[in-house]
Amino acid sequence: MIKIIQLATAEQIIAEVDEISYELTNPLFINIQQTEKGPNIQLFPYNLIAAGNIILNPDQIIWMADPEQKLLNQYQEIFSKIITPPKKDNITPIK
């Protein structure tokens, strides 16, 4: 399942998690910045120098939770094999 993990180091990660072995697949670091328009969430690769999956020490996990839908969609879009065009809000239909 895809989960958000808060580590004892204060890092937050989103990844596919095996909740028995604590193995992470496709982990991304969650960077939250406050802006004038509210929080801005950016996702960055977590294991730039490791080959393969990461296994966490469960003693370092503070909490684990399901991501809210918008973040889940962003995560799934990053790892999707389907290429989608950018979303345009101001599309005028052809008559």
Predicted confidence (pLDDT) per residue in 5-59, tens digit: 999 999 999 999 999 999 999 999 999 999 999 889 999 999 888 888 999 999 9
Name the pLDDT band for 88 (thresholds 50, 70, 90): low
**64 and 17 Cβ atoms separated by less than 8 Å:** yes
First vs last C-alpha separation in the chain: 44
One-character DSSP codes across 5-44: EEETTS-EEEEEEETTTTEEEEEEEEEEEEETTEEEEEEE
How much is the pLDDT for 94? 63
CB 84 within 8 A of CB 28: no
